[in-house]
Amino acid sequence: MTDPLRIDIVSDVMCPWCIIGYRQLAKALEATQVAHEIHWHPFELNPEMPPEGQNTRAHIIEKYGSTPEQSEQSRQQMTALGTDLDFDFRFTEDMRMHNTFNAHQLLHWADEQGRKHDLKMALFTAHFTDGRDLSDIAVLAAVAGEIGLDPAEALTVLQDQRFASEVRKAEKFWTQQGIRGVPAVIFDAQHLVTGAQGVENYTSILKQLTNEPA
């Protein structure tokens, strides 16, 4: 019996293309029935973001030089892609971009209980669908509680910052590997694919890696 295909995904829960890319990959995995194991890794899109965050549209315009029209067009594109992938993007004018260092610490804690993937999905939904403030540790603890983790323990983990050094170490490792943008998907610890590639492209990649006819 062959080992499952290792898939490492470097991402941030503030990144819409990360959940789009993951959902595309998940569809490709379902279609190809490739045995696999997914490992999520931390990346902060906005490590210098102040505690209060920033209006998402203003942030995108400032960071990427987009016009308001381009920003709106991008939102419409992502919303449509999300609909095709059973993910509900609900962009609003008062949506905010936040730093996610605490979210990554909570994910590290959830990983020790085998629930990192579940919490990752819940955090994407909390931010993009429900518009919740993921810089608020009470909100993060509540999301953990909603998937069956101990919310009191989650809050304590964030208050004492016990996993801060481990998360910083992991972030540093991936930036040292040359990861500058997300999603970054590494197949079999050697094949790097960046950006949301689409179901067809992921399917083709999976077939090539498992020596099936594409």
SS3 193: strand
As a whole number of angstroms, the distance between CA 27 and CA 23 comes to 6
Report whether 8 contacts 189 (CB < 8 A): yes
- Kind of pairing between the strands at 36-42 and 5-11: parallel
With vertex at residue 55, the alpha carbon angle to CA 42 and CA 80, rounded to the nearest 5 degrees, is 75
- At 1 the pLDDT is 46
Pair 11, 182: CB distance under 8 Å: yes
Residue-level pLDDT at 51: 77
Q: In the predicted model, what is the mean pLDDT of the chain?
A: 95
Q: Which domain holds residue 41?
A: 5-209
Asked, for residue 161, whether it belongs to a domain, the answer is: yes
pLDDT tens digits, 67-112:
989 999 999 999 999 999 999 999 999 999 999 999 999 999 999 9
Q: Is 155 inside any structural domain?
A: yes
Total-model pTM: 0.95
pLDDT at 212: 63
- From 122, 110, 101, select the one nearest 170 (Cα to Cα): 101
Residue 180 lies in a domain: yes
Number of separate domains in the chain: 1
pLDDT for 209 equals: 92
- Write the CATH number for 147: 3.40.30.10
Residue 71 lies in a domain: yes
Extract the residue ranges of the chain whose pLDDT is less than 50.
1
Q: Could you give the C-alpha distances from 31 to 8, 126, 198, 210, in angstroms and in order?
A: 19, 28, 13, 13
* Residue 214 falls inside a structural domain: no
